[in-house]
Chain A
Amino acid sequence: MTRQRTSGNLTLALLAACTFAGRAQGAGVPLDEIRQVLREQALRAPAESVLQDLDAANLASGLQAIDPAARYFPRALYRSPNRGRDSMSGIGAELLPSGDDLWLLPFLGGAAAAAGLTERARLRTIDGRSVAGLSLDEIAQRLRGPEGTRVVLGVEDAAGDTWRLTIQRRSFHPLDVELVQPGGQPVLRVREFAAGLTRPALLATLDFIAEGASRSKHQSIILDLRDATGGDLFEALDIAALFLPEGAPLATLVARGGVTQTIRAPAGADLEQPLILLIGPGTASAAEILAGILRDHGRARLVGQTTYGKCDSQTEVRLSDGSVLRFTNRAVRLPSGEHCSGVGIVPDLAVDTATLNDLSRLVPRASGALVAP
């Protein structure tokens, strides 16, 4: 699972126009400030000896030894995660290693989708060469290229059909909420929770569906969170609140020393449609917290596989030189009191991996979950 997440992030960085860099740039790193922030604000206070061992040359590994989610961003390389996904350039797909397979996850509106790849598929060849035996870096290198250039991919879809497609690399703007309709059933796909942006995009998409078809007020909503790797915690809480009555407990944030703060649903949309969430090992952080909240309130049926297992939240502190330190400062407890880190959220209806990867099979199973006893 660790490999999956790490690699997923790597791929995003390689395919996106704007990238993070997780390494420090040698000299000039404000180490004392970093130590001070972690000493005072990290969820679990690090041992002083560990803090003193931090050095500029190995900052990334040193930080991760303290907190696996901790990152340092030099000023020039910092990009706020609150922006959501910026314009991307390339083949318009994420690369997700899973077991022995390498999956391509196309973005709606991207180059891969324009070439006909609208659902996830296993990547088999690049320009006629098998990807077997190639490292992720080598694969990413072959997939990258200037805008306007072409690459021929051999893929195998979830049903096992193989085909070749020629993709012309181009730039595009990913949607905050994608709408796919396998078998005519609308499915809203969220990959990231961008502060202030994902919730209105979700509402707009629901309105869009309602306008486009004579959709019943009570027709179910299917949210696809299989590839939602997290994002802004409060955006996820705001989305949970859309489906819950005012005052419903959403989560309890636990800070250093056991200081707690319970967040409750504000007055809002109180959407009444039956809700199904598609989850899997790629569903992490804010996304699995959303799933856990709605499950605890009996408001959604969870279909898929157990989630990644990270119910902590991070914060960012800007240091005096403009660089940014991100670190874990709160644990998140679900309304039931559960803390999902290291455990994940278990689905109400578990499906095998082949079904999880095939939306056209997963959606009928998920729809059936609503009526099943």
Chain B
Amino acid sequence: MKPSMGWSMALIALWLGGCASVSTDPRAGGLAGGIKGLSTGAYDARIQEREDRLAVLRQVQAELETERGDLETTKAKRKQQVAAERARVRRMNRDIAALNQRVNSLSAAANRNDQRVQTLRIRVAQLQNQSARLQSDLDALEGSGIGDSEADLRRAQLEQQRASLQAEYDLLNRMALDLAR
């Protein structure tokens, strides 16, 4: 009597356990639920649901991987752009230094009070200052975390500023050449 009584208690406990759960998650289902599920097809539905859920998770993971890859690519691209920009500014600085020497020679050869030469001297000096600051900003940008929105804005500003200074250099260079003739 005692053993059979024990089995009955266990079955009741399992039965109650099954009843207590209304989840369709197979991991949460009790024995009775499982048995019931086998006969009704709900178990297959749960398996399908689990597979669907896994598929969604895999999809999300794949999208995150792609996004991470895109971010890395963008970051690498930005780094390359900053490096290229730094090289352009270095080149421009060399050109401005050479222009400065030419203007100094012009200044020595021409009348020191020649207004055009004086104007050129002032503008070349100004360009040197601006370009030096640009170089410093680009150096700092390369050292910072490239890739966030603020860094992107900074890079965009520096690129346009460099292009603007380059145009100013070209103009001053033409002026210097005209004066040298």
Which A positions have Cβ atoms within 8 angstroms of B? 80, 82-84, 86-87, 108-109, 172-173, 175-177, 179, 194-197, 199-201, 203-205, 207-208, 212
Contact = CB atoms under 8 A, between A and B. Distances in A.
Interface in B22-65: none
Given A173-B137, A205-B153, A208-B156, A83 B130 contact: yes
Interface string B90-110: 000000000000000000000
Interface string B125-152: 1110110111011001100000001101
Q: Which 6 pairs, one residue from A and one from B, show the smallest C-beta to C-beta distance? A: A204-B160, A200-B164, A200-B160, A201-B157, A204-B156, A204-B157
Contacts of B126: 80, 82, 195-196
B157 A175 contact: yes
Nearest to A171: B140
A108 B157 contact: no
A87 B140 contact: yes
A176 B153 CA distance: 11
B150 A109 contact: yes
A109 B130 CA distance: 21
Given A108-B150, A197-B130, A173 B140 contact: yes
B164 A196 contact: yes
A204 B153 CA distance: 8
A87 B140 CA distance: 9
A190 to B, nearest CB: 12
Contact of A208 (B134, B137, B141, B153): B153
A82 B129 CA distance: 7
Contact of A200 (B125, B137, B163): B163
Contacts, number: 73
B168 interface: yes
Contacts of B160: 200-201, 203-204, 207
Interface string B113-134: 0000000000001110110111
B159 interface: yes
Nearest to A80: B129
B140 A200 contact: no
A83 B129 contact: yes
Given A109-B154, A175-B154, A196-B164, 14 more contacts: A80-B126, A84-B130, A86-B136, A108-B150, A109-B150, A177-B157, A196-B130, A196-B168, A200-B157, A200-B160, A200-B161, A200-B163, A200-B164, A204-B159
29 contacts: A80-B126, A80-B129, A82-B126, A82-B129, A82-B130, A84-B133, A108-B150, A109-B150, A109-B154, A173-B136, A173-B140, A175-B154, A176-B157, A194-B130, A196-B161, A196-B164, A197-B161, A200-B157, A200-B160, A201-B161, A204-B153, A204-B156, A204-B157, A204-B159, A204-B161, A205-B153, A205-B156, A205-B157, A208-B153
B165 to A, nearest CB: 6
A190 B126 CA distance: 21
Contacts of A176: 157, 161
Interface residues of B, number: 26
A100 to B, nearest CB: 34
A337 to B, nearest CB: 28
A37 to B, nearest CB: 14
Contacts of A175: 150, 153-154, 157
A208 B161 contact: no
Given A83-B130, A176-B157, A208-B152, A199 B164 contact: yes
Nearest to B137: A173
Nearest to B162: A200
B156 A207 contact: yes
Most buried by B among A83, A87, A196: A196
Contacts of B140: 87, 172-173
Contacts of B132: 83
Nearest to B151: A109
A109 B140 CA distance: 12
A83 B152 CA distance: 22
A175 B153 CA distance: 9
Contacts of B159: 204
Interface string B155-181: 011011101110010000000000000
B167 to A, nearest CB: 9
Given A83-B132, A86-B136, A108-B150, A196 B165 contact: yes
B8 to A, nearest CB: 65
Nearest to A207: B156
Most buried by A among B126, B129, B141: B129
